Amino acid sequence: MKLYKTMKRWLFILTAALAVFQTTDLCAQERGVRFSGGTDVVSAYIWRGVWESGSALQPTLTMTAGNFSATAWGSVDFAATSYKEMDLTLAYTLGPVTFSLADLYWEGGAADRGTVSRNYFRFGNDSPHRVEAGIAWRIDEKIPVTLAWNTVLFGPADVNATGERAYATYAEVSYPFAVKDVEMKAGVGIVPWNALGTYGIDRDFYVQNVFLNVGKSWTVFQSLQLGVFTSLSWNPAAEDVNFVGGFSLRM
């Protein structure tokens, strides 16, 4: 019952805040509020080095107001019935540091152990939601290394190998750079303790994600951007490798 109330409270806060942002009146732009959106089409959906689904459509909608942002992001694979995800994220940027709070809802994939409901409004012991807090620090503009830390605060499916609360954590260091006019980013992500229910790997400490992202974008029709990208990632803990390609449309 306590878990139910806690989950319900956090989900209410996230959805209420997002609703407030999205109902901004037509004068919002004059107040510094901006909206952007788009979609990606990917050959496979890989999350933090873990394979979640095959080829998928991934729309996004973001509202920014000063240092605040609210983002809705989803993923639906082309099988239409095997995987669906919907994430709501609130973020605040303070200089080189960004704080975030996200509600992560997904079905299927590595995290589905057969005990998670597919009902979005399910907040009991089989809720498919996780609430995750994150912090990212871009160390310096001249040396743009970014350190990120994300921890699941609530979620019935977030358990370790013994069934106890895992507080699943993913820590990453990444470095963006460019080769001529091609944008690239390399990084390494680790899981510091057992988070079987979230990442599907029964280990206490491991490297989960070693990746290289490559992309390029062009502006077409004034406000529309077209991009293509590839991502090569290794998951040493799962002894897996994935090579993903896709394209994006942004407005």
Quick one: pLDDT at residue 131? 95
pLDDT at 15: 57
Residue 193 has pLDDT above 90, yes or no: yes
Q: What number of other Cβ atoms are within 10 A of residue 43's Cβ?
A: 15
130-156 confidence digits (pLDDT tens): 999 999 999 998 889 999 999 999 998
Quick one: tokens of 71?
């983002």
The per-residue pLDDT for range 203-251, each reduced to its tens digit, is 999 999 999 999 999 998 888 999 999 999 999 999 999 999 999 999 9
**Inter-CA distances, 63 with 34, 68, 69, Å:** 6, 8, 5
Please name every residue paired with 195 in a beta bridge, in sequence order, or none if there are none: none
User: Whole-model pTM?
Assistant: 0.86
**Domain holding 188: CATH number?**
2.40.160.40
- Total of domains in the chain: 1
In angstroms, rounded to a whole number, what is the distance separating the alpha carbons of residues 242 and 235? 8
> For residue 162, what pLDDT is reported?
93
Is residue 187 scored above 80 in pLDDT? yes
Tell me the residue range of the domain where 10 lies: 2-250
Q: Residue 97: is its pLDDT beyond 60?
A: yes
**Among residues of the chain, what percentage have pLDDT more than 90?**
69
Q: What is the pLDDT of residues 113-128, one digit of tens each?
A: 456 777 888 888 888 8
C-alpha dist (Å) from residue 184 to 165, 217, 220, 245: 36, 12, 22, 14
Question: pLDDT category, 3, cuts 50, 70, 90?
Answer: low
Q: Supply the pLDDT for residue 113.
A: 46
pLDDT above 80 for 9: no
Residue type, 114: G
**Per-residue pLDDT tens digits for 10-55:** 556 555 554 544 444 444 555 689 999 999 999 999 999 999 999 9
